[in-house]
Structure 1
Amino acid sequence: MADAHAKKHDYHIIDPSPWPVLSALGALVMALGTIAWMRYAAGSPLPFLGLDLANPWLFFIGLVLVLYCMFGWWADTVKESHQGFHTRVVQLHLRYGMIMFIASEVMFFVAWFWAFFDASLFPGEAVQVTRSEYTGGQWPPAGIEVVDPLHLPLYNTVILLLSGTTVTWAHHALIHNDRKGLIWGLALTVALGILFSAVQVYEYVIAPFEFKNSIYGATFFMATGFHGFHVFVGTIFLIVCLIRAMRGHFTPQKHFGFEAAAWYWHFVDVVWLFLFFCIYVWASWGAPIAHH
């Protein structure tokens, strides 16, 4: 009788889970909370069933729920791996899922690049749909001083390229069962990611233009800011991998969690190279540079 109920396939049928429903609910609350926060910042009410929802707290409630679901869902995934459910077929499908996720992120950044190139390549058309002082018919817009691409942006480029090298070192160390090399490579990658974010924040503080004063500032901060957010998420991803590596979770044969983090980090590296050469270098060519 026991053989009759034994699993005879390589697929994993997961147990009923609350995480998909709770994650969707958290995302909905966080989205509504974002609108409520914007209304609150603008001093406008957001009436709903006799209540004024215009406050920032709804967003944070949704964020906490989303973070809780992420922790619980991924913790269950790790447990399933330790229980032997992640067969070769399951691991292959996890890789397909990560590839599709990164592909969706690529299209996400395509939207920001599209907005930037639409404004920069056709500044005369931007004048027709915005106030004329936004561009002056040129790019960068008249009166805009740009960030020196050979200062902090170049520094951050070197940092990210180095981080790509260290995470690759960690990957090769894991494949060769070098635990010390794996931990050191991950620790250095995390440190470089934190350093990149710190430099990015400092660059924003001293930037000679603002988000709201020109289409140049809006497209610049949206593209580089969302990349910075992805660096922040990737750093958290790598910190989790570092903790798991220190606990001995990864083996040379089974380490998809680390592999997914490495893929994501390399994706962040490549996007930054496009940002650096297109937005910092090409689009700033010949414009007055702000010196601090």
Structure 2
Amino acid sequence: MNPIEVNPSLNAKVPTDHTTDLHPSTEHHHDEAGNSMFGFIVFLLSESVIFLSFFTGYIVYKTNALDWLPPGVTGLETREPAINTVVLVSSSFVIYIAERFLHVKQLWGFRLFWLLTMAMGSYFLYGQAVEWRSLSFGFTDGVFGGTFYLLTGFHGLHVLTGILLQAIMLVRSFIPGNYDRGEFGVAATSLFWHFVDVIWIILFVLIYLWQ
């Protein structure tokens, strides 16, 4: 009787690579962040459509109105709104610097410039409130009055939302290891802030420069 032959390959140990255990979770995290950012961009596109409809309505009403401004109103003062515009647009560069600091894990630099962005946004809202108080017309004073307060108020609500989001991201920066695996929240908040700035530039041209 022939002896039973044992296949040597059955006794061979299968090599294990423990480093591969980390890849699925890392790739899953990147996929999640990518999907979240895509969804956020879709949200911003939907917001853009809303603002675009407001812009279109404003242009149509203005070009067809015989008496666009309310009685007794000769125009809007542009100096203070221009200063507010410079502050808000400059905050886009400041928040970008904050992002760069976070990217290299310099949290105190991130916090400093992030907080400065919040301060600049708050200054803008303060300037908007001061302007509203100084105006001699209200929401019900003609089509111009209604559209002016609707557009600037809706945009101001977005600025306030951006500041609140920034406050949340700032608090999260004090949680140890919070940004070690990704910076989606900061990136999304920064993108939202740039969006708010671009919308305001269009509003400033339509409302204050095109009088």
Pairwise TM-score range, normalised by the shorter structure: 0.7 to 0.9
Of residues 74, 77, 89 in structure 1, which corresponds to 2:31? 89
Residues 197, 231 of structure 1: 8 Å contact kept: yes
SS in 1 for 2:173: helix
Higher relative contact order (CA 8 A, sep 6+): 2
Of residues 115, 118, 123 in structure 2, which corresponds to 1:195? 123
Residues 98, 109 of structure 2: 8 Å contact kept: yes
Of residues 46, 49, 64 in structure 2, which corresponds to 1:107? 49
Q: Please, which runs of 5 or more residues in structure 1 have no aligned partner?
A: 1-6, 12-83, 124-136, 285-292
Distance 2:169 2:28 in 1: 18
Q: Please, which runs of 5 or more residues in structure 2 have no aligned partner?
A: 1-20
Q: 5 Å matches for 1:135-146?
A: 137-140=66-69, 143-146=72-75
For residue 82 of structure 2, what is the aligned residue in structure 1? 154
SS in 2 for 1:87: helix
Residues 10, 88 of structure 1: 8 Å contact kept: no
Q: 5 Å matches for 1:1-292?
A: 87-123=29-65, 137-140=66-69, 143-149=72-78, 151-248=79-176, 249-251=178-180, 254-282=182-210, 284=211
Q: How far apart are 1:88 and its partner, in Å?
A: 1.0
Residues 146, 208 of structure 1: 8 Å contact kept: no
Q: Which portions of structure 1, spanning 4 or more consecutive aligned residues, are displaced by more than 4 angstroms?
A: none
Q: How far apart are 1:85 and its partner, in Å?
A: 9.6
SS in 2 for 1:99: helix
Distance 1:171 1:117 in 2: 36
Partner amino acid, structure 1, of 2:36:
L
Q: How far apart are 1:122 and its partner, in Å?
A: 1.3
Deviating more after overlay: 108-117 vs 221-230:
108-117
Pick the structure with greater CA Rg: 2
Residues 92, 193 of structure 2: 8 Å contact kept: yes
Residues 68, 143 of structure 2: 8 Å contact kept: no
Residues 170, 186 of structure 1: 8 Å contact kept: yes
Partner amino acid, structure 1, of 2:170:
L
Structure-2-length-normalised TM-score = 0.83
Distance 1:142 1:205, change over 3 A: closer
Distance 1:10 1:139, change over 3 A: farther
Question: What's the % identity of the aligned pairs?
Answer: 31
Partner amino acid, structure 1, of 2:74:
E
Alignment root-mean-square deviation, CA: 2.1
Distance 2:200 2:46 in 1: 17
SS in 2 for 1:209: coil
Structure-1-length-normalised TM-score = 0.61
Q: Deviations over 1:134-182 (max 9, x none)?
A: xxx1444564233212x22101101101211110010111111111110
For residue 41 of structure 1, what is the aligned residue in structure 2? none
- Count how many residue pairs are aligned between Structure 1 and Structure 2: 189
Distance 2:172 2:91 in 1: 19
Q: Deviations over 1:76-118 (max 9, x none)?
A: xxxxxxxx89611111100111100100110111121122111
Distance 1:99 1:280, change over 3 A: same
Distance 1:98 1:10, change over 3 A: farther
Distance 1:225 1:280 in 2: 15
Q: How far apart are 1:246 and its partner, in Å?
A: 2.5
Residues 88, 197 of structure 2: 8 Å contact kept: yes
